[in-house]
Copies of this chain bind each other. A is one copy, B any other.
Amino acid sequence: MITLILAESSLELVPPDLARHPSITSHAQKLGRDASEILLDNSWHFAAMKGLRNEIKRGRPDLVHHSVLEAVSTPLYRRDGLNLFVHTIHDKVIRLGLQVRVPRSYHRFAGLVEKLYREGRVSAGDVLLEISDMTLSGILDEISPSAVIGLSSRGTPSSYAKVAADLPDGACIIVGGFQKGGFSEKTSGLLDSAYSVEDMPLEGHVVISRMLYEYEKTIFM
Contact = CB atoms under 8 A, between A and B. Distances in A.
Each complex incorporates copies of this chain amounting to 2
Interface in A46-78: 60, 62-63, 66, 69-70, 73-75, 78
Nearest to A108: B43
Contacts of A202: 73, 75
A116 B34 CA distance: 33
A63 B66 CA distance: 11
A162 B94 CA distance: 38
Interface of A: 30, 41, 43, 60, 62-63, 66, 69-70, 73-75, 78, 103-108, 198-200, 202-203, 205-206, 209-210, 213
Contacts of A41: 105
Contacts of A108: 43
Contact of A78 (B69, B78, B105, B200): B200
Main secondary structure on A side of the interface with B: helix
Contact of A206 (B60, B66, B107, B209): B209
A108 B60 CA distance: 13
Which 4 interchain pairs have the tightest Cβ spacing? A43-B105, A106-B106, A209-B209, A62-B105
A206 B63 contact: no
Contacts of A106: 62, 105-107
Contacts of A206: 70, 73-74, 209
A107 B213 contact: no
A145 to B, nearest CB: 25
A104 B63 contact: yes
Residue of A60, A62, A108, A199 with most chain B CB atoms under a 10 A cut-off: A62
B107 A75 contact: no
Contact of A75 (B75, B200, B209): B200
A203 B73 contact: yes
